[in-house]
Amino acid sequence: MATIDIIIGSTLGGAEYVAEHLETILQNASHQTTLHYQPDFAQLSAKRQNDHLWLIVTSTHGAGQVPDNLAPFTHALAQESHLSGLRYGIVAIGDSNYDTFCAAGRQIDELLEILAAQRIGERLEIDVADGELPEDSAENWLETWLPLIDKS
């Protein structure tokens, strides 16, 4: 069983819905989860341990910007010097009609990589323009992500 902090970046509720959907699946699989609608970086980074993972689910807004609710978290992340030992997964949601497709998720993933955090699996990029239900794409990805938690 893992303890997973689900960190949400959402403006219109789409990414929030995907995060809540993933939380239900994780809880059904007996993992402990907490949803963070207004993620507090200091609090989240203080309790990071090996059995503690972050699952970041964020859309992109503006011209490639992080949603407002995730901006303080992202700002604090950019000030951090290292996050070694942290394991995370990331689901980026965007629209391929924008040049800045999934830029927020990509930016956070890059920051975490620079800080030596360990990404579990590949970053999922959901394109809301492709007609698939975002929660279905996320659910399929989670099926491949979950077994990796114990292996890495």
Please give the distance of CA 11 from its chain centroid, rounded to a whole number. Answer: 15
Taking residues 2 to 41 in sequence order and writing x for each that binds ligand FMN by CB under 6 A, - otherwise, the string is: --------xxxxxxx-------------------------
Task: Single out the residue of 20, 25, 35, 98 in contact with ligand FMN (rule: CB under 6 A).
Answer: 98
Closest C-alpha to 91, from 31, 45, 26, 151: 26
Query: Applying CB under 6 A, what is the total number of residues that bind ligand FMN?
Result: 23
Closest C-alpha to 55, from 107, 124, 101: 124
Task: Single out the residue of 102, 117, 124, 138 in contact with ligand FMN (rule: CB under 6 A).
Answer: 102
d(CA 113, CA 105): 12
Q: Footprint of ligand FMN on this chain (CB under 6 A)?
A: 10-16, 59-64, 67, 93-95, 98, 100-103, 128
